[in-house]
Amino acid sequence: MISIIDYGSGNISSVYNAFQHIGCRVKVCTEAKDLLNADKIVLPGVGASREAMNRLRDGGFIEPLLENIAKGRPFLGICLGLQLLLSRSFEFGENSCLNLIEGEVKRFPPSEGLKVPQIGWNTVKFTERASPIFKGVRDESYFYFVHSYYCDVKDPVFKAGETEYGFFYTSAVCKDNIYAVQFHPERSQENGLKILRNFDKL
C-alpha cells in the first residue's frame, strides 16, 4: 500500500489519480496515525516550505514520517516534497526543513531570457548514481516542472539527476530508501508514470 501524506499543500488528488491509473494500491493519509501501517510513503506538495513544515508539524506527521524512513520503507518526494528533505530553505526567509539530505533551497537568480518560476517541460540528465525509479526512462527525457526555488545539494553522491535552467541544479536525489524529484511525474505523461511504476515495485 502506498500512503500519500495530505498535509494541505495541494496536488494530492492528481498524484493519487496517477497511482490509481497504473493499478497501484494507494490511500490518502490525513492523520499521522494513518502512516503506522504504510508500506511506502509519498510526500507531494506545492507552495512554500515554511508553511509546509508548519503543517507537517501541526499534523504530527514528522515523527512517524522519519520513523518510517529510518525503518527502510521507500519514500518518494515530489516537488516541494523534495525541497523539504534538505537542511534549510530561503523561501520567505530562512527556515529549517527535515535535514535528511544536506543542502539548501534557493531562489533562481535573475537571468536574461529565463522566467521565474520555471513552468513547463525540461530535461533531466541522469548522474552516475541514477535512481532506480528511473529504470526504463531514457536519459535527458522531458518532465514537467513548476517551481521558483531549486535544490543546492551539498554531497554529489546523493544527486540522481540534474536539470539546466540558466545553470545545472539538482532535480532528483537518491539516498538509501529516499527518492525525490523536483518535477511532477503525475503531470509528465508516460515518463512520469514509469517513475511511479518503478517506485511501486521497490
Cα gap 138→76, rounded to integer Å: 20
For the question of residue 186 being annotated catalytic, the response is: yes
d(CA 39, CA 119): 32
For residue 98, the SS3 value is: coil
User: Do 181 and 134 touch, CB atoms closer than 8 A?
Assistant: no
Q: What's the confidence (pLDDT) of residue 130? A: 78
Distance separating alpha carbons of residues 15 and 45, to the nearest angstrom: 10
Q: Show the CA angle centred on residue 23, arms to residues 20 and 28, nearest 5°.
A: 35
Active site residue 140: no
φ/ψ of 105, rounded to 5, equals -105, 120
Which among 67, 174, 184, 190 is annotated as catalytic? Answer: 184
Q: Catalytic pick from 79, 97, 151, 174?
A: 79
Second CATH level (architecture) for the domain 2-201: 3-Layer(aba) Sandwich (3.40)
The full set of domain ranges for the chain reads 2-201
For the chain, 202 residues long, the average pLDDT of each consecutive 10-residue run is 90 94 95 90 92 95 96 97 98 95 96 91 92 95 97 97 97 97 97 98 96
Looking at residue 151, its amino acid is C
Is 79 marked active-site?
A: yes
